[in-house]
Amino acid sequence: MGEFSIRQARLGDAEGIYALIGANADRLVPRSLANIVESIDRFVVAEAGGGIAGCAAYQIHPEIGAPEAATVEIVSVAVRQDMRRRGMGRALVEAIADRARAFSPRELVTLTFSPEFFSSLGFAEVPKTKIMHKLYTGCINCTKHADPFTCPEIAMIRHVRERNL
Ligand SMILES: CC(C)(COP(=O)(O)OP(=O)(O)OC[C@H]1O[C@@H](n2cnc3c(N)ncnc32)[C@H](O)[C@@H]1OP(=O)(O)O)[C@@H](O)C(=O)NCCC(=O)NCCS
């Protein structure tokens, strides 16, 4: 009990990931199965008892005129209900952070309904005006909320590298 391993997602995991995201539709942006397949290389999964018990992924948001300032957003973080509070969510986010570290973004961002989880991982709340590029490349197409500034999700950031590096 409590045993799990984190690994790169495979195409064969796409349906399991789809089900996990769907089971947390109140807290996560919905994704089609095709979209998950197209982005499978950006997903990590947690395997437990021979099945998929958790997933996480990332998206890159460019900053106009400053390619080195692109932000990495942690998305689609979900852990099966019966496997929560065992460190799986933390391990999934850190696996995504390790990947991101390899291409050296300034910061990781998240928009979340679970601020306690992300603050335990070193993320701090920021005003949404600090992540305008994310709002323009992601939130602008949201079907849940017409205005990102009245959307109840909380914006949080964890720095990865110093500015100007
Ligand atoms: C948020 C979620 C991914 C956390 O997964 P998890 O595997 O339970 O998280 P962890 O066990 O790694 O928790 C790490 C720390 O986060 C904090 N934390 C996690 N869940 C929490 C909760 N419900 N309330 C308060 N703190 C919480 C705790 O500090 C915890 O450490 P502790 O257990 O030693 O106290 C999981 O609850 C989930 O799938 N929720 C639904 C989807 C969602 O909200 N995703 C995130 C939005 S982007």
Write down the pTM of the prediction: 0.93
Q: Give the Cα separation of 46 and 21 in Å (integer).
A: 14
Whether 125 and 69 have beta carbons less than 8 Å apart is answered as: no
Distances in Å between the alpha carbon of 111 and those of 27, 67, 124, 146, 155? Answer: 10, 22, 11, 15, 5
What CATH number is given for 5-159 in this structure?
3.40.630.30
pLDDT along the chain (165 residues), means of 10: 88 98 93 97 96 96 89 96 97 97 93 95 91 75 78 89 55
Q: Residue 111: which of 48, 153, 141 has the closest Cα?
A: 153
Q: Give the Cα separation of 16 and 133 in Å (integer).
A: 31
Does the CB atom of residue 24 touch ligand 1 within 6 A? Answer: yes
Please tell me the distance between residue 74's alpha carbon and the centre of ligand 1 in angstroms: 14
- Neighbouring C-beta atoms of residue 125, cutoff 10 Å: 13
Does the CB atom of residue 113 touch ligand 1 within 6 A? Answer: yes
Nearest CA to ligand 1 atom 5: 89
pLDDT at residue 148, as a whole number = 79
Distances in Å between the alpha carbon of 151 and those of 97, 111, 139? Answer: 25, 10, 10
pLDDT at residue 147, as a whole number = 81
**Cα atoms found within 13 Å of the Cα of residue 161, Cβ hemisphere only:** 16
